[in-house]
Amino acid sequence: MAKDFMQDGKWIENPRAVKILVCECGNKYIKTRERQKTCLECIAKKLREPAR
């Protein structure tokens, strides 16, 4: 018999190491900077058009 080491079809490894957050635009992103509040797409947008 085969044994299942996965739960809900996902491997669970270092859940504390990576924080996945949801941006205001709805995209999910991984927090890589302390002050990061948006996904990389929104960061790039803000850099291109700072005042809209």
| Binding region for Zn ion (CB under 5 A) | 23, 25, 27, 38-39, 42
CB of 1 to Zn ion, least distance (A): 45
Please classify residue 42 by burial: count the beta carbons closer than 10 Å to its beta carbon, then call 0-12 exposed, 13-18 middle and 19+ buried. Answer: middle
CB of 43 to Zn ion, least distance (A): 8
In sequence order, the β-bridge partners of residue 29 are 21
Q: Quick one: 18 or 37, whose CB is closer to Zn ion?
A: 37
CB of 15 to Zn ion, least distance (A): 23
36's CB contacts (< 8 A; 6+ apart) are: 29, 43
